[in-house]
Amino acid sequence: MTLTPNTGYHVKSLKVAGTTRTDDLTDGANGSKTYTFTLKKDTTVEADFEADSTGPVDPTPVTHTVTVNKTGNGTVTLAPAATPEENVYTYNENTEITVTVT
């Protein structure tokens, strides 16, 4: 099994069938941890993830909207492409946007 924490978190502990297995974890990519066991009966797995002392706690990105209003004939295109709700486009903060008017 592989335990992969969200951004701003790390694997604190792992219990398999009531036994702590944290010391038996193998390090993987991006903070993930791997543990291998042979299943011989119904088993409960408990993974505990803990917030890092530094870094983001909430992995939800900050978003902002771009409202496009136009009059007359022509098109307004935003890149990167996004699907607008009405004429409002939503992007993650710090996204570089190119506006093309034709």
Question: 56-79: per-residue pLDDT in tens?
Answer: 556 778 888 888 888 888 888 888
Question: 73-101: per-residue pLDDT in tens?
Answer: 888 888 888 877 888 888 888 888 888 88
Residue 29, helix vs strand vs coil: helix
Rg (C-alpha) for the chain, rounded Å, is: 23
Helix (H) or strand (E) holding 101: strand 98-101
Question: 10-47: per-residue pLDDT in tens?
Answer: 889 999 888 998 888 888 887 888 888 888 877 888 88
Specify the pTM: 0.48
Asked if 97 contacts 64 with a C-beta cutoff of 8 angstroms, the reply is no
How high does pLDDT run on average in the chain?
Answer: 83
Say how many residues make up the chain. 102
What is the model's pLDDT at position 41?
A: 78
Q: In terms of C-beta density within 10 A (0-12 exposed, 13-18 middle, 19 or more buried), how is residue 11 classed?
A: buried
